[in-house]
Structure 1
Amino acid sequence: MLHAILTALLLAAANAAAQGTSATLQPSQLALVINDDEPNSVEIGELYRSARNIPEKNVVHVRIPNRPRKLDAEGFAKLKAEIDAKLGAHVQAVLMVWTAPYAVECNGITAAYTLGFDAQQCVKTCAPGTQSGFFNAPAAVQPADRQMRLSMLLPTESVESAKALIERGKASGFRMPTAGAYFLVTSESARNSRARFFPPSGTVPQRKLTIHTLREDAIEGKRDIMFYQTGKARVDKLDTLGFLPGALADHLTSFGGDLLGNGQMSSLKWLEAGATASYGTVSEPCNYWQKFPNPNLLLRSYLGGTTAVEAYWRSVAWPAQGVFIGDPLAAPYRK
């Protein structure tokens, strides 16, 4: 028998699916922002536009020289104003086609774009954050209903890797695979703050999903991964794993969102291993679970048929320091 939490999760997903997909993000509602000063951004942006049939009117060209990892608040405000001035009211989400910049002072660039730059969070990065208006939003709610545009980064370190990511995201919409969801309570106790929200092991037959909640530091050799959430500074054995198209994966650690840093494991490693979207923080957040994706909410939204960008944004309560990366339109459970 399924645990009550798992039953509630299944019912919520089924109810969301029953409402249809009209409220989920469509390609016509996504804008691409391309950095004309970076050749990879230009090439990958066109690959994504063509693969997803993004309207030409939704493509915005900007110039960000030298690929800085971090922008100051003033420079970002000018960039955001330039982007917004070129977008129509129909745009519900924005995909920035670059790896860097990924931070605005202590904020993640996607959070700064969607919610506005949070200067107060930078006074003390370990302080509690401000709740996102899209956190735990009902399935029928669109970003515009909350006066926001969601955002994500599509990394551009490698054209071939980006092409593979785009293909995985697109392939996720063709069929619902038999899949596994892996939630790991690790030996790094400080990084287990969201373990209370890990669903119990069990099955969700209507979604062909088996949930594995384990006390392990890593999994090895699994080839059916749709979800993988853990708490580690570095996640081992990623090279042994097989991620399904549309897979979401992230690790609770301080600097996963420091995408080009060499301290803790970058969230880019999840995409390199085969995941389709991920999340990490760019500055020291301390281990508030609210600053990281909530497992139950992420599962409920994604299994209900939403896109990766919607599911991830619904799952993070205080995302000011976070950056969302990957293919925003991946949706393996959308009918």
Structure 2
Amino acid sequence: MKGKMLRATKLGVCGDPILGAEGWPVHVTSKGFVSVEYAAEVDDGEEIDQKDANGDSLVYEPARRRIKLYNVTVTAGRVDPELYTLFTGMPVVLDEDGNATGLRITSKVNLDSAVALELWSGTALKKCAAGAVQRPRFGYFLLPQIIDGQIGDFTIENGAASFTLTGKAIENPGWGTGPYDVYLRSTGVEALESPMGDFDLLHLDWTQLPPPAPTCGLTPRPPDGTVAADATDATDMTAEYTATYVPVGPPPPPYTVDWGDGAQTIGPAEAEKVSHEYATPGTYLITVTDTTTGASRFKSFVAPAV
């Protein structure tokens, strides 16, 4: 399985996603990694085997194993200061323009910083229903909380440099269903169907929703809006996008609405609308993309609308 994308989201002390400017989760979306290793740390339990004075079995209880946590190692091929500081809690170094250019590693014990780590991989599964919009499937892996993030050893030499990030993945009910949509179902884009529980360490599944697009540094809030059936179309085959948030920039608004059938429209101004009529029924993935930063958000429309 080839790794496609990872997303690291900053968590608070209770394991809840930290929200930054405009209520957008503080996170990094990157494809600059070489590998992610998940190594289970197992508690083998304790066997009780008590014999009587004659040597016969008196009490026997077999040891019961359980996974305590996952030791996670991310090998990164690109230096991404924001990803490293989210993972480790180490302070980022800024240049005179406020851009992240490096990281300062300290001896302080990191007790407050934690991240959730999502990863998308490629998969060979291709089971498409007849007549449906054909889409690839992706593997989806979620670790709801990684603590004790550290940067591993590295070597400067005549060769490709890589850095390792290590941490301990533990349970985190504070993640709930998460702040993002990660599935594309027949009813549209959705978050996790059930929240991460008190003992859930790892969620792995496949999804037809593509991974988010990579961005430089912290992922900015993408343009946003609502999608509904155009009330003027009696066939319910026309989707109407109403902008609720537009990134700051010179006019026209610097974003696009990809309707999922090959058509694309320049995004409207805030509170304005654009519409698109579909030729055939189906569940369509709509991608709203900031053309300046690359940040994107997925929407969906079921044609005909019901």
Return the TM-score normalized by structure 2: 0.23
Q: Which has the higher strand share?
A: 2
After TM superposition, the score normalised by the length of structure 1 is: 0.21
Structure with more relative contact order (C-alpha pairs < 8 Å, separation 6 or more): 1
Q: As a proportion of its length, which structure holds more helix? A: 1
